Amino acid sequence: MSLRAEALTLGYRDRAIIEALDLDLPRGGMTTILGPNGCGKSTLLRALARLIKPRGGRVTLDGRDIHALPSRGLAREMAILPQSPLAPDGITVGDLVKRGRTPWRGFLAPWNDEDADACADALAAVGLSDLADRPLQELSGGQRQRAWIALVLAQRTPLLLLDEPTTYLDLVHQLEVLSLLRQRNRDTGLTVISVLHDLNLAARFSDHLVLLGPDGIVATGSPQNVLHPDRLMQAFGLRAQVMPDPVTGSPMVIPL
């Protein structure tokens, strides 16, 4: 099982943002897409999630073009948490998470044990079991983001895509979100593909990095291989030194 981009070209109107990009995203790990603003990392993630149509090339899941797959079938394989989902007025955390079961539920189907189980499990995974009856609006920013993650976890897909899941969160809550995703990845083999801004957090929580620059992919591979001063210069125009993080041993980028 794997998600691949083949000669993928993405853009709006006459402007191509990504051209002829080939990418193989390994299963079972945590992959992070990094790059400067405007390099098209969110656009790439949206194309991988079938939220936009490519102008050329294709995205395949196990060899099949995702645009040829039925919407519901795809939603059982792959979940996406967009950057700013909308919360219905007054919705409780529990009701929000329940909506993650949509692809598994038939028309007017009764709520079954598997649905209940998936929601309870998702709430437990993000540590919100006790707050299920609370309105989402009353939660803190970090808790709210975890509630949204619970929604996509309740979807029970082998693949999870997240568009900047830590934006607007303070460092503690960023760590909280990434740790729970890492935990989920270890516990259930969930493949996590996300877009992040923070290079050091990405290095610490990823098995695989995709570094994009203004002209497409600069490097892909393990954090040790990708986070190299020359490549950071190429992608960001950033002069930096890279050394092992004294605590975790993952590469640490120090801008000069």
Does 51 participate in binding another protein (rule CB under 8 A)?
yes
Who's near 8: CB < 8 A, 6+ residues apart? 18, 20, 21, 22, 23, 44, 47, 54, 56, 57, 58, 59
Q: How far apart are CA 171 and CA 80, in angstroms?
A: 23
Q: Which is nearer to another protein, 18 or 152 (CB)?
A: 152
Of the candidate residues 90, 110, 230, 246, the single one contacting another protein (CB under 8 A): 90
Q: Are 40 and 9 in contact (CB under 8 A)?
A: no
Does 121 participate in binding another protein (rule CB under 8 A)?
no
Q: How far is the CB of 58 from another protein (least distance, A)?
A: 18
Of the candidate residues 17, 25, 59, 74, the single one contacting another protein (CB under 8 A): 74
Give the binding range for another protein (CB under 8 A) out of 29-37, 78-86, 182-190, 243-251: 78-86
Sheet containing 216-221: give its strands across. Answer: 78-81, 159-163, 191-195, 30-34, 208-213, 216-221
Q: How far is the CB of 63 from another protein (least distance, A)?
A: 21
Can you say how many angstroms the Cα of residue 26 is from the centroid of all Cα atoms in its chain? 14
C-alpha angle 17/196/217, rounded to 5°? 40
Does 81 participate in binding another protein (rule CB under 8 A)?
yes
Applying CB under 8 A, the site for another protein has a residue count of 34
Does 155 participate in binding another protein (rule CB under 8 A)?
yes
Q: Are 18 and 11 in contact (CB under 8 A)?
A: yes
Of the candidate residues 4, 55, 58, 105, the single one contacting another protein (CB under 8 A): 105
Does 80 participate in binding another protein (rule CB under 8 A)?
yes
Q: Provide, for the chain, the percentages of residues in helix, strand and coil under a 3-state DSSP scheme, each rounded to the nearest 5.
A: 40, 30, 35
- Which chain residues interact with another protein by CB under 8 A? 12-13, 46, 49-51, 71-76, 78-82, 84-88, 90, 92, 95, 99-100, 102-103, 105, 107, 151-152, 155
